[in-house]
Structure 1
């Protein structure tokens, strides 16, 4: 199944898609703002500036005109909420929103209703309540910045291909013919994070993809180069607020 890039509906409407296999759509934009929420499974959003993770109880907000693509794992059920420009008070940049159970249930219910509804109808009233409540949801820092920078692109590509290798910053500085201090400054300038924090965030993005595809916690930890499963669980919970086992349940 492919993602629809410009579906039609009312000023605020939601559609759902159940993926039968790992799916990734091409980079595209929308004339409406888009909120991507998973009911189960894993989704990672990519933009020109990096990646956003979508853990349970959260959703990623994509403003109008932002180039992006979403990667959904096998058997994921995703809800796409579309909002006409000017109706929301959400940020003008991508962010991960921490959704309350009530907001999640409203989005799920709206996905089951006709997207092309009449003004003043019950569906319209539900959409307006959802929009007002959504504007109050807090954001979470689950962004992995990977800008169009040769150094960062090189490191990110290696981590995706060999996530268990885990070279240190000293190893990377040597490979890139840079001093450790220069690499540390470069990382902070382009990502706003230390090398260690950025790598940790990137690893958790990979962990979400693997867990969402059905891989066990133990196998995921091993594939990411963790020698201790307890260390992996601790890092996962510190960043995502849930243990891996609770996430996949």
Structure 2
């Protein structure tokens, strides 16, 4: 497998990858430290970032995406974005030519990665960059693209408002997520009536203030849990009285408590790795 350190000079970020004569350019990347960051940039090709270890945090103008282990972030070609990682990251990165990405979503999204899709991506990363398009390698790449197009979208997106007053609210809560100010108190802080603030939030984000703040807490908690923080510590950092209240919120938002949510994704990856090890041992 071709591995690269995740830094601002990562070969995958170079313009050469955008003009490389293959539908998919695939590499494995590992971080040099617990945190890494790519400044704002864009590719002609679409980019898929699949997290094996650690958490990816990606920002574009329309919002923030969080990518926990066993999920992948899809960024369509031409989308200006910045990315940073939490925890010692291990990532598979694919750059996909626009002509090959027609069936993929036209907007940024977080995709769930099945065991089959994991195997296909892992295999593609081992291919030479000039893989045989007309042979078995090209057929596997086509199957990978079909599976990507069918992958379910995870609700791990935090939309960000464009209105400067609402943006001040969002930025303040990103900086101080434990702030328990009410909707009315926030309206006063940003110079709006509560009614106007509620209406504009729904227009710009499609979410109520309460649902947006809950989604923010889910995203921040996944980042911190991936770094090894305890549920109790994360709950207190986000302003909850105890772990029970935080777990209830997380379950309502995601459908599972945080420990099970992360364990299932780690379990899928572990089971896949064990299968590969058994095959290699035969």
Structure ID, larger Rg: 2
Residues 1:195 and 2:203 aligned together: no
Q: Which has the higher contact order (CA 8 A, sep 6+)?
A: 1
Q: Which moved more, 1:61-70 or 1:149-158?
A: 149-158
Partner of 1:163: 177
Distance 1:66 1:184, change over 3 A: same
Distance 1:240 1:105, change over 3 A: farther
Partners of 2:131 and 2:138 within 8 A in 1: yes
Residues 1:57 and 2:70 aligned together: yes
Residues 1:14 and 2:22 aligned together: no
Task: Please give the alpha-carbon distance, in whole angstroms, between the structure 2 residues aligned to 1:56 and 1:75.
Answer: 12
Matches within 5 A, 1:115-130: 115-130=129-144
Structure 1, gaps ≥5 residues long: none
- Corresponding residue pairs, total: 249
Residues 1:74 and 2:87 aligned together: yes
Distance 1:115 1:214, change over 3 A: farther
Matches within 5 A, 1:104-143: 104-143=118-157
Task: Please give the alpha-carbon distance, in whole angstroms, between the structure 2 residues aligned to 1:147 and 1:23.
Answer: 26
Structure 2, gaps ≥5 residues long: 1-5, 267-282
Partner of 1:235: 249
Q: Once the two structures are superposed, what CA deviation does each residue of 1:145-204 show, in whole Å capped at 9, x if it has no partner?
A: 113331232122222222222222111012122221111011111111110011111111
SS in 1 for 2:87: coil
Calculate the aligned-residue CA RMSD, in Å.
1.9
Partners of 1:13 and 1:127 within 8 A in 2: no
SS in 1 for 2:27: strand
Task: Please give the alpha-carbon distance, in whole angstroms, between the structure 1 residues aligned to 2:191 and 2:44.
Answer: 44
TM-score norm. by structure 2 comes to: 0.82
Q: Once the two structures are superposed, what CA deviation does each residue of 1:99-153 show, in whole Å capped at 9, x if it has no partner?
A: 2221022112322332331322433222111111211122233221113331232
SS in 2 for 1:74: strand
Partners of 2:66 and 2:219 within 8 A in 1: yes
Q: Once the two structures are superposed, what CA deviation does each residue of 1:214-249 show, in whole Å capped at 9, x if it has no partner?
A: 222211111111112122123223333443224165
Partner of 1:244: 258
Distance 1:169 1:95, change over 3 A: same
Task: Please give the alpha-carbon distance, in whole angstroms, between the structure 2 residues aligned to 1:212 and 1:138.
Answer: 22
Partner of 1:146: 160
Partner of 1:33: 46
CA apart distance, 1:44 = 1.4
Partner of 1:95: 109
